[in-house]
Amino acid sequence: MSKEKTNENTQEFTSDTNRKRSIRNRIIFLIAITVLLGVLMVFTILNPGTVDSDTYKPMAYATIASLLPPTIAILLALITKEVYSSLFVGIFTGAVLYANGNLELMLNTLLYHENGMVNKIASTGNAGILVFLVILGIMVALMNRVGGSAAFGKWASKHIKTRVGAQLATMVLGILIFIDDYFNCLTVGSVMRPVTDRHKISRSKLAYIIDATAAPICIIAPVSSWAAAVTSSVPAEYNINGFTMFIHTIPYNFYALGTLLMIVLIVTMKVEFGPMRLHEENALKGDLFTTAARPYGDADQEYQESNGKVIDLLLPVIVLIICCIFCMIYTGGFFEGENFVNAFANANASMALVLGSVVALLFTFCFYMLRGVITLKSFTECIPEGFKAMVAPILILIMAWTLSGMTNLLGADIFVHDIVNGSAGALKLFLPAIIFMVSLFLAFSTGTSWGTFTILIPIICTVFGGGDTSEMLAITIAACLSGAVCGDHCSPISDTTIMASAGAHSDHVNHVSTQLPYALVAAAVSFVGYLIAGGIGYFTNSLLALIALPISLGLIFVVILVIKKLTASKISESK
């Protein structure tokens, strides 16, 4: 009786806490809306007339106010734990600032402007990513329906016997799928979720490992969509070979390399800190989520069919990987005479992922039908099932893209460009560390790492001059790439972060809050590394600057050891 009473008291306490949190969130949201309406009224009074769309610039253009929309969205998301409303408030703020209070312009900007929500959805590239998400959702639903996920989970439980092994296996799979971060996040999540669930690894930890082996791997992989984006960001007029420069930056990418080392250390040493520690402790007790949020509902259900086999999961995934790689080089012109590297550099990632996933879905259907493990009726039922499973990431992605569009409309890129370009020449000694922090902040604010290094790499080339291939140039570009990936990791409005949540079937805010301390540790060590590399590179302009890499990795190891001692007890494996 006493145990039942204790459980009832615990449930009442939890319910009361959730009710208070809900009330607090509503109050914060109402305050935010009231402030925004007040701002709108002020701007309406200041500028009640129409505007000339050809020459129009808002008052906030290229000022610090241009960073207000993403700042508001991020702060609200972290405080209220409500992603959708927070993103919408950020978008609304951007539209208000852009319109200078003109209501008609505000609504048109919000919805039908080139950077508005409707056009973001209609964009060919963005629409392709959404279609790819839906097809992946359908494939996961099919794998669950025929029992492939359950069979793989049982097989893995016999071969992967520890929590450490399950986490390292997830990391290794993430490293192997280095082609594209979107593809990486969803594929690794689909394959490894049954395994990590069986070993009582929290969904937040799974999301972290997925996220930490997506962008960090892609940004140091010569054959990836990210390498292509970096290569194309180097201005042609500076006579710098973009691909050669990308290769040169790999050993200086301290954040990406440090993050990979961090995963190995925290997994093998069983060290957890920050909110992740609570999530992992609860997972060992059987609660994989910690919070009440279950954004994917029944999508986590595994269908325990007796005729399900491991091949029912592995073969469709392997076909998906092969098809996507083939379609990438196809869209890049490989079969029209381009070499393999240039084909990747010119690839249309969005189109390739859609084509590859469609072919893989058709193969999966035919394969399952030939095996006799699914009927046409079951297949059609999996289509809306898979779509529903991806509604949450689709909504967040659409609003994140729109928020990024509002930020660009306000000239945030020009504001950052002017700051960096105005001070970089006099601060070359500290330039890598400065660029790292600026890149981190810009990626965090806008939620896009590609947009960040596309803005900053031309500025860096301008500072060092045309044709300069010195170590300092490589170090500084690497710092830009590092900061972009770090900011992308920390930001709740980043598309890669959203995809990692989707792949792990984790609540998005849980993923962001638990990942943040880990990302900040790697960021702090990377900053020190760039101070060292910048100083050595400035005075010697030689490969001696590479000594900063082992120093940075060594610092990561020392920091994890210190954290392990400070947290006293480690999370032990369940018996």
Q: What is the pLDDT of residue 448?
A: 76
Both 367 and 490 in one domain: the answer is: no
Q: What is the pLDDT of residue 81?
A: 65
**pLDDT-wise least confident of 312-316, 361-365, 412-416:** 412-416
Asked which of 393, 421, 439 is the last residue of a domain, the reply is 393
- 245, part of any domain: no
pLDDT at 44 over 50: yes
Amino acid at 557: F
- 359, part of any domain: yes
**Mean per-residue pLDDT, 379-385:** 88
pLDDT in tens, 83-135: 677 778 888 888 888 887 677 778 888 888 877 888 888 888 788 878 887 88
**pLDDT-wise least confident of 237-246, 264-273, 324-333:** 237-246
pLDDT at 3 over 50: no
**Mean per-residue pLDDT, 475-501:** 89
Both 105 and 128 in one domain: the answer is: no
Task: Report CA-CA distances (Å) from 134 to 361, 384, 472.
Answer: 11, 9, 44
Calpha distance 217→256 (Å, rounded): 7
pLDDT at 10 over 50: no
Asked which of 47, 79, 113 is the last residue of a domain, the reply is 113
pLDDT at 25 over 70: no
pLDDT in tens, 320-370: 888 888 888 888 888 888 877 677 667 777 788 888 889 999 999 999 999
Q: What is the pLDDT of residue 421?
A: 62
> 490 CB contacts (<8 Å, ≥6 apart)?
440, 444, 512, 515, 516, 519, 520, 523
> Residue 469's pLDDT band (boundaries 50, 70, 90)?
low
Range of 49-58, 195-204, 241-250, 289-298 with top mean pLDDT: 195-204
Q: What is the pLDDT of residue 463?
A: 72
pLDDT at 303 over 60: no
Specify the higher pLDDT residue, 66 or 280: 280
DSSP 33-44: HHHHHHHHHHHH
Supply φ then ψ for residue 57, to 5 degrees: -140, 130
Dihedral angle at the C-alpha atoms of 292, 298, 303, 304, nearest 10 degrees?
30
Enclosing domain of residue 168: 124-236+296-393
Both 338 and 443 in one domain: the answer is: no
Task: Report CA-CA distances (Å) from 49 to 46, 99, 100, 163, 311.
Answer: 9, 10, 10, 63, 65
Specify the higher pLDDT residue, 262 or 455: 262
**Mean per-residue pLDDT, 413-429:** 66
Specify the higher pLDDT residue, 461 or 228: 461
Q: Mark 35-65 as b/e (b = at least 16 C-beta within 10 Å).
A: eeeeebeebbeebeeebeeeeeebebbbbeb
Average per-residue pLDDT for the chain: 80
Q: What is the pLDDT of residue 204?
A: 93
pLDDT at 35 over 50: yes
pLDDT in tens, 512-566: 999 999 999 999 999 999 999 988 887 787 778 889 999 999 999 999 999 998 8
Calpha distance 331→335 (Å, rounded): 9
Alpha carbon 559 to its chain centroid, in Å, reads: 25
**Cβ neighbours, 10 Å, residue 193:** 26
Total structural domains within the chain: 3
Q: What is the pLDDT of residue 51?
A: 55
Asked which of 393, 419, 453 is the last residue of a domain, the reply is 393
Calpha distance 152→451 (Å, rounded): 38
Tokens of residue 180, six digits: 């594209």
Both 332 and 203 in one domain: the answer is: yes
Both 536 and 473 in one domain: the answer is: yes
Both 109 and 131 in one domain: the answer is: no
> 41 CB contacts (<8 Å, ≥6 apart)?
101
Q: What is the pLDDT of residue 521?
A: 95
Q: What is the pLDDT of residue 420?
A: 65
Calpha distance 72→91 (Å, rounded): 9
Both 45 and 101 in one domain: the answer is: yes
Residue tagged 């978008």 (tokens): 91
Work out the burial of residue 562: count CB atoms within 10 Å of its CB; fewer than 13 is exposed, 13-18 middle, 19 or more buried: exposed
**Mean per-residue pLDDT, 392-400:** 77
- 210, part of any domain: yes
- 141, part of any domain: yes
- 257, part of any domain: no
- 273, part of any domain: no
Both 92 and 140 in one domain: the answer is: no
- 305, part of any domain: yes
Range of 122-126, 371-375, 475-479 with top mean pLDDT: 475-479
- 415, part of any domain: yes
Both 550 and 462 in one domain: the answer is: yes
Q: What share of the chain has pLDDT > 90, as a percent?
A: 22
Both 184 and 318 in one domain: the answer is: yes
Q: What is the pLDDT of residue 520?
A: 94
Alpha carbon 382 to its chain centroid, in Å, reads: 27
> Residue 65's pLDDT band (boundaries 50, 70, 90)?
confident
Both 227 and 376 in one domain: the answer is: yes
**Mean per-residue pLDDT, 477-482:** 93
Calpha distance 120→400 (Å, rounded): 10
pLDDT at 302 over 50: no
Both 481 and 423 in one domain: the answer is: yes
Residue tagged 């241009």 (tokens): 66
